Amino acid sequence: MKRGHRDLRVWQESIVLVEMIYRFTDTFPKSEQFGLTSQMRRASVSVPANVSEGCARNGTKELLHFLGIASGSLSELDTLIEISARLGLGNDTEPIKAKIDEVSALLLALAKSLRQRTGP
């Protein structure tokens, strides 16, 4: 079984983002375990999960659909990071924000490349 998603830089960097989010939320109070901690972890995991699921589907159209879902999860995560920062939860958010920007750019570039190869 070929797992081409593992070769994609966007998948690799989104896995790094998941690791960053798990470490970041480890510092949150226990009272947030079922709140922001859970939401941030689910949103972060959704990014590489949707990239890999899209790669396993039949064709570019489905891959683009799952890349869109991954992008939405990434946007959700960005909002949750902002909320946590405003509430004074966690440590420095700048490295996470930079990684979110990087993964976002990679998602957009991959989607653009796929659209150019196949048309609208």
Question: pTM higher than 0.85 for the full model?
Answer: yes
Total number of domains constituting the chain: 1
Rounded to 5 degrees, φ, ψ at 119 are: 90, 175
The CATH number for 56's domain is 1.20.1440.60
DSSP one-letter string for 59-78: SHHHHHHHHHHHHHHHHHHH
The residue range of the domain holding 81 is: 4-118
Tokens, residue 76: 């959700």
Give the model confidence (pLDDT) of 89-112 as tens digits. Answer: 988 899 999 999 999 999 999 999
Q: What average pLDDT does this structure show over 62-71? A: 95
